[in-house]
Structure formats: structure tokens, C-alpha cells
Chains A and B, each alone.
Chain A
């Protein structure tokens, strides 16, 4: 990663459902709706495929923010996937802060294939928020490891 971007970009991971939100991001592209460059998109068939553990893993690996977006309720290509996603992700959003991960770093929403502008706004606002929060900080060491390091130093 080049120094320029290394310094100003944060690590934001987005899980987008293929039928609606990924299409919405495409629509935003076709409309040339400018967005910040931090976000990296992982394409999944349905928001119902997004295992909360994937989000946890991203955070465990040092992601500064995670975004999940699917079809609007009632509009799921698989008719029900996003209903399950909604329950799982809400549960996750409430659980994260309990173990010390700021729930503001995790956002889930619904964006259809025709909502290019809504996508642009979501990416822009979420990226802004993550930059306000700053880096999440590297995955923590074992207390013992810490102490060993201290001794070594």
C-alpha cells in the first residue's frame, strides 16, 4: 500500500448481496456518483449468507469498520434471506459493544439495485463515521505475551 493512501485510508469491509446492494453500487458507478475509496466490497448472493462470524472475523483481523447491505425487506431475491439477516445482524450489533467493539463501527442497511444515490450516501457517511472514530487498533496480544514483551524491553 502506498504511503499516501496508507496514511489516510482506513480498512472498511462491505458485504453486499448480489441482487440488490451490489447492483446499487454498480448503479452508483454507472451514475459516476463519487465516493471515498476506503471501502472494499465482498460480494455474497444474499445478506442471509452473511454469517455474523464473518463480521467478527473482519474485526478480529483488524478491520476498522464493517458494512452489510442487502435487499429491502419484502424485496429479497430469495424472498426471505434478508429477514433472517435482519435478526442476526441486529443481534450482532447489540452484542459487539458488550465485548468492547464499538457498535458504530458496524452498520447494516438495505439498498436496492436502483438506489445508486442511496449507496453513495451510505458509503460516504459510513466512511466519514469510521474516520471520526479512527483506527480500531490492532488485534490485542495475550496478556502474558504483553508482559513478556515488557520484560524483553
Chain B
């Protein structure tokens, strides 16, 4: 055994609190170590060359690098040793930065800890076996979860790149939040006018299959070969017949159905097409409000439908899609206003949310673009905008900034002035966050050209007084209490993870942070990947984002999927379970505990029954190894003997 060890200074990150020279020196005393040195930046190109050179010069057959976390650079160095002709698994990393130099204060203790960490790695590397990956076919189809702007962008890019793409959208139409916006900052483009064409492209692209009003039921498989069960929820309208003529909606007597698209600004019909530009433009029945379902008699829509598309008996349907990669663009939600009682949103009709205001401003909205108070449909003259309604507020469990509220408030203030020239807008804010291109100029215009009055401070309470809403808050710049008699109050309610985000994450085996947003595999360097191979993130599902950020992340995720599926075969990770058929007694306990059904029974020629691992299905968790009583099934690279070598290196000194 000829082990070479390289101790990294990482500039001062490690060398600052660890005596790297001593670590290298102590390491030389370990039997089997023939070369040990310290280096300024081992991950740098000269650093890697030094490793390759040493492998040749010293005839090393095992390499240990003591540096940062293997989660950071293990792959880098595996490639390095491979380039020098070693098997990539004849390599171990000792984490002496994140786990030592950055967290320990006493240099001597750190140094000692580093020495032992390296000793452990050396003992492990001497137990390592050469592993070789095998390759398997990939399914060149992509699943996009969510038909918002991020999801559509990802789908269009994948499809344009030649990949069959499936979109699964929870609501009856694609478009997501952007479809509900009136204008977009900072250019004041008509939102649906720029989104509409994309929606049409999605509908018309021959490589895109759209499952609207559908949800993910279950996901099995692994990168390159996922099996996805999609639940197509019953619409009670046969979409293959529905032409979207709208007759049914006209005649429907169920006039007070909740309008999800307009966030309940005004009621809609029990059978409805969510909005004029909907894709697909199909009607669906909301049984919660439909007389046929509530009273068992009505059937008006069935009578008037020219294509006899109505089917009250319709059931949910499960379809299975096989894909090789998945883009998760499931979007975001908004804070439950009950958490903000002091504002009275939901209690007082004239206290509304930003997104509701978008619908009121919108020409094709319930008010046809005329600004009016929900309570008495009069035109408001004094409008107060409250930013950070829940955002950056630990007391409601939302420590983070919702990212785009400052901008849309400025936009809404501008639009308000356009609609009602004699109106006055007030904006309560904590800070104005407008870092994007042309953003800060935009918020200034709102103040300077459109006369919106910005008050720096929090609103403490909102309550009605006659027809008015009293907004009481602090002006922290003037250091005084302010009270404004408003006709309409708009709350920039906080962005949250979309409802059901956690359940979806569990189906995908990806992780989510304490706020419910999905976790990327590296915040800086792998922002659209997840820790599950073949699953990528796009849009606000990963964290609050505005349109351009969502669109670019959609394209980025698509690029990842495209590069993954550009190959016909994928390399399987050889660090999977393997069975020693001599030792296996065929008790099949491993079969019972494998989370992936990756182990099956096999009868050898000798007639002996043993366990057999299905290589492509095994994900390498090692549950089987911990289950097997006779140590016959061993997770490669984390075998009993390899872990025992580490334990013994620690606890027998």
C-alpha cells in the first residue's frame, strides 16, 4: 500500500487555525503513508498537478486530501486521481475546514483533530476497493411540474431542444401568477400580452403534452428513468369535446362560485373558464357551488352545451408518464391573512392584497380595469400600500424578504395615478429593495413623477371609521405617529412556499428548507440542481423570485435537463450494494427493508437462493447492509470493514 496525503492550507482558512505542517509530519509516521505534504490551494490547477505528479513520482496507489468538505471537492479530486491513472475510489477526503479549522478555536486541539481526521481517512483509503460504473439507457423525456412562467420557459426550451416534454399544472390553465398580473415592472408591459404568446406556444408545440388541472400522484425510479403517476382531476366536462365557447358559463345559475383566478375579488359561475386567454380554453365545473352536485338537479349547462361535453359522472383519472428528468416549477403561495389580524385583511372588504389589486387594475378583470372599492364600488381617492405584510417578520415565522413587493407596489402606485389622476397613494415601507436593472429608477419615478408618498415605518393597526379605513403607523424618519384616512388599503402580503410543497418534495426525494422552499444542491455553484440526480428547480418554488429571475432559472433548468439527456446512456454510480453469494444465507431481510425495491431473490446454479441487487435501481443508501445479519450484502465504498477501519482508527489508540 502506497498512500499519498495532501494537506491543504486553503489560504488561511485552514492554515490559520491548524498547524498543517505538523499534520503532514504526523501523517508520515502512519504505516502505509509514503508521501505527505501540505499545499497552499490543493484544489487549484497547480495543486491538482502536484497530486498527479506525486502519484507518478512516488508510485502512489491511494490518495488522501485533507481540505474542505467532500461535498465541495470530492468529485474534483476523484477526477484528478483518475487522470493520473488511479481508480477514482482509491481516494478519500478528510474534512479539516468545515469540521475543524472553521469551528475550533484552540489551534493545538484543531491540529490534533486534523491529525486524527487524516489518520481515519488513511485507514479508510487503505480499505477502499476499485469500483467501476456501468451504464444504462435514459428516457429522453422531461417532466415539468408547474405551468407558470418558469415552468413554461423550461418546457419550451426543452421541447425546442428536441425533448418530448410533459407539463403537469395544478390549475385548469397554464400561466400561473404572471397571467394574473396587470402590468410588469419596470417597463409597464401588459403582462398577459407578453405571456399569452408563450402560453399559445406551449399549447401548440408538438413535443409538449399538457396535463392541466392535474397533480403528481407518485414518482418512482431514478435519474434517466422516472415513472410518474399523474392524477387528472375530474372537470365534469369532456375537454375533447369542449370548444370553450362559454355558453355554459353564460347560462349557469350558480352565480356565486369562488373565483380562484381572481382571488375572490368577485364571484364567478359554478361552471367557468378561468379567464379569456386560458390555455387550455376549456370549461370546468366546481362541484362545491354547482346545483347539480349540491341539489342533485339543474343540468342547465348540459342542456345548453352545443357539443354535449358535460359529464356529471366524470371521475379522476390516473395516467403514467415515463421521463428521464424532472423540472420542479411549482411556484409560490401567499401568507394566510389570519396571521396578520392587525391589518384586518379578509375582514374589511376595503383591505385587499396586492394580487387582488392586480386583478382590479386589469382591463379583463372583474371590474374591467376600473378601480373601485370592493365595499361600495366607489372610486378610491386615497390608497395606502403596506409593504412587508408578513415578510421579514419572525413573529409570523417569515424571516425572509419576499423579494418583489417593493417593485410591484411602486408599479401599482404608478398605475393608480394613471387610472385616477386625482388620487393620492401612500406607501408604508421598511426599506426599498430595488436592486434590479432599471428598478431603482422605477421606484424613484413612482415618488418623483407620480407623487406617491413613501412613509418609512411599520403599520401598527388598520381599522374602519365610517366609510374610511384608518391606517395607523409610525414614521420612523420623522419619529412621529401617523394616521391616514384611506379609501382602499393594499397589503403586499408575504410570499410563502406553495401549498403542498412538502408533500411534493417527499414524492421527489428532494429536501426543503424551514420555510418550505426547495433546497438547491449548492447555493452558489449548483443553484438549479437538487441532491436528487435528474431533478432540477425553477422559479419561486426555490425561493421568492420576480419574472426575469424565474424565466432565466427556467431556462437554466432546461439546459441542465438537455445536457443530462443529450447522452443515450448514463453512468451508474458504482457505490451501490453488492452481494457476496458465498456468505449470503438467503434470509431476504434486505429485500424487506430496501426503500427502492432494488433487491430480488435469485437461485444460483448450485440451487442456493441468494439476494441480488438490481444495479440501476439501487440508490446506495446502505439500509440493506445494516439489515444483513451476516454482512453478505455490502454497500460499496461504505462497507463494514471500511467503516470499522475508521472506528478502529479512532477508538484503539
Contact = CB atoms under 8 A, between A and B. Distances in A.
Interface string A2-42: 10110001010100001110110110111011111100111
A102 interface: no
Nearest to B70: A43
Nearest to B113: A37
B647 A57 contact: yes
A13 B117 CA distance: 11
Nearest to B503: A74
A120 B105 CA distance: 14
Q: A1, A33, A51 — which one has the most chain B CB atoms within 10 A of its CB?
A: A51
A50 interface: yes
Given A40-B117, A42-B643, A51-B626, A29 B98 contact: yes
A40 B650 contact: yes
B25 interface: no
A111 B593 CA distance: 23
A29 B69 contact: yes
A134 B336 CA distance: 50
Interface string A56-99: 01100111000000010011111111001100100000000000
B511 A112 contact: yes
A45 B635 contact: yes
A25 B638 contact: no
Contact of A81 (B502, B505, B595): B595
Given A29-B103, A48-B622, A75-B511, A22 B650 contact: no
Contact of A2 (B69, B108, B627): B108
Given A29-B69, A61-B651, A114-B519, A46 B103 contact: no
A37 B109 contact: yes
B566 to A, nearest CB: 26
Query: Number of contact residues on B: which range applies?
Result: 35 or more
Contacts of A54: 643-644, 647
Interface in B110-124: 110, 112-113, 116-117, 120
Given A11-B651, A28-B103, A20 B511 contact: yes
B652 A42 contact: no
B151 interface: no
A44 interface: yes
A49 interface: yes
Contacts of B505: 75
Contact of B98 (A11, A30, A78): A30
B350 interface: no
B619 interface: yes
A150 B623 CA distance: 46
Contact of B116 (A40, A61, A79): A40
A130 interface: no
Contacts of B593: 84
B514 interface: yes
Given A44-B638, A74-B506, A81-B623, A1 B98 contact: no
Given A43-B70, A79-B509, A88-B626, A34 B105 contact: yes
A68 B564 CA distance: 35
A147 B511 CA distance: 57
Q: Is the interface of A mostly helix, strand, loop or mixed?
A: loop
Contacts of A77: 509, 511, 531-532, 621
Given A28-B103, A29-B103, A48 B626 contact: yes
B620 interface: yes
B216 to A, nearest CB: 15
Q: Which of B619, B625, B651 has the most CB of A within 10 A?
A: B651
A11 B650 contact: yes
A62 B652 contact: yes
B103 A19 contact: no
B443 interface: no
Given A1-B653, A75-B511, A42 B647 contact: yes
B71 interface: yes
Of B108, B621, B622, B650, most buried by chain A (CB within 10 Å of CB) is B621
Given A49-B625, A61-B648, A80-B595, A41 B519 contact: no
B342 interface: no
B105 A78 contact: no
Contacts of A13: 647, 650-651
A42 to B, nearest CB: 5
B95 interface: yes
Contacts of A5: 108-109, 112
Contacts of A71: 511
A38 B593 CA distance: 34
B99 interface: yes
A25 B103 CA distance: 10
Nearest to A6: B112
B124 to A, nearest CB: 9
A34 B103 contact: yes
Nearest to B92: A43
Contacts of A115: 514
Nearest to B594: A80
Nearest to B620: A45
A63 B647 CA distance: 9
Nearest to A27: B98
B132 interface: no
Contacts of A30: 98, 102
Contacts of B625: 49, 51
A8 to B, nearest CB: 8
A75 B109 CA distance: 34
Given A32-B103, A37-B113, A45-B621, 17 more contacts: A9-B109, A29-B99, A40-B116, A41-B95, A42-B646, A44-B643, A45-B575, A46-B623, A48-B626, A52-B626, A58-B647, A61-B651, A75-B506, A75-B512, A84-B627, A112-B513, A114-B513
26 contacts: A1-B116, A11-B651, A25-B98, A26-B72, A29-B69, A29-B103, A37-B100, A37-B104, A41-B99, A41-B117, A45-B575, A45-B620, A46-B621, A51-B625, A54-B647, A58-B647, A58-B650, A61-B651, A75-B511, A78-B595, A78-B623, A79-B506, A80-B595, A84-B626, A114-B513, A115-B514
Q: Which 10 A-B pairs have the closest CB atoms?
A: A29-B98, A49-B622, A61-B651, A78-B621, A80-B595, A48-B623, A37-B109, A29-B102, A51-B626, A46-B621
